[in-house]
Amino acid sequence: MLIDIKTRLENIDVVLRTITAEQAFDEINSNGGTLIDVREAAEVISAPVHSSLHIPRGVLEMKAIEQFKDASTPLYIHCASGVRAKLAAEQLTKMGYENVSVVTCPVATINQACEK
């Protein structure tokens, strides 16, 4: 049976922590966490978030394990709408990462919070 993305998101079977961009930057400033942008390269070029590490959703699992060896590393995931960020956070959590948060704000809001 096929399911649409709304149903897929409703069926995520791990608890996802969702926060604002302002909360994310407050925490990153104190815990040294990493903001990860899971959008595609063309999206990042047209609307960059300079404070984030770009790892496209399609290669996240492979790149994360190389980049973040410590499962307790705070990771803050964002995209354009929140859908890919939630799917990415689910996968990272299932891989064993213990401190994953989803930043569900528009890119402009993330950039504004970074500048504060």
pLDDT tens-digit readout, 78-110: 999 999 999 999 999 999 999 999 998 899 999
DSSP string, the chain: ----HHHHHHT--SPPEEE-HHHHHHHHHHH--EEEE-S-HHHHHHS--TTSEE--GGGHHHHHHHH---TT--EEEE-SSSHHHHHHHHHHHHHT-S-EEEE-S-HHHHHHHHH-
pLDDT at res. 1: 87
Measure CA 24 to chain center: 10
- Set out the domains of the chain in order of their start, with CATH numbers: 5-115 (3.40.250.10)
pTM given for the model: 0.94
Q: What is the pLDDT of residue 114?
A: 83
Under the banding of pLDDT at 50, 70 and 90, the label for residue 24 is: very high
Indicate whether 48 pLDDT > 80.
yes
Does 116 have pLDDT greater than 80? no
pLDDT surpasses 80 at 113 = yes
